[in-house]
């Protein structure tokens, strides 16, 4: 959930600012949890996202 949330947050920032701006505090905890503690998946290509609901203003 965190990896998808971070991706959504970045997509929303691009939509708002009109450019790709880095976060003030990068979400490194997502990769650390995956690689160090084997908690969750940080690689978006390995996550199957199932979209439900309206497609208006879809960020992914």
Return the closest-CA partner of residue 3 out of 35, 53, 56, 24. Answer: 35
Query: From CA 35, how far away is CA 2, in angstroms rounded?
Result: 14
- The structure's pTM equals 0.80
| Domains of the chain, residue spans | 2-46
Query: From CA 16, how far away is CA 29, in angstroms rounded?
Result: 25
In eight-state DSSP terms, residue 53 is: S
Return the closest-CA partner of residue 7 out of 36, 37, 47, 40. Answer: 47
Over residues 1-59, the pLDDT tens digits come to 899 999 999 999 999 999 999 889 999 999 999 999 999 999 999 999 888 888 887 87
């Amino acid at each position: 959930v965190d990896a998808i949330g971070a991706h959504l947050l970045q997509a929303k920032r691009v939509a708002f600012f009109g450019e790709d701006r880095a976060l003030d505090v990068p979400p490194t905890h997502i990769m650390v949890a995956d690689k160090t503690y084997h908690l969750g998946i940080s690689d978006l290509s390995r996550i199957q996202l199932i979209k439900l609901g309206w497609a208006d203003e879809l960020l992914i």
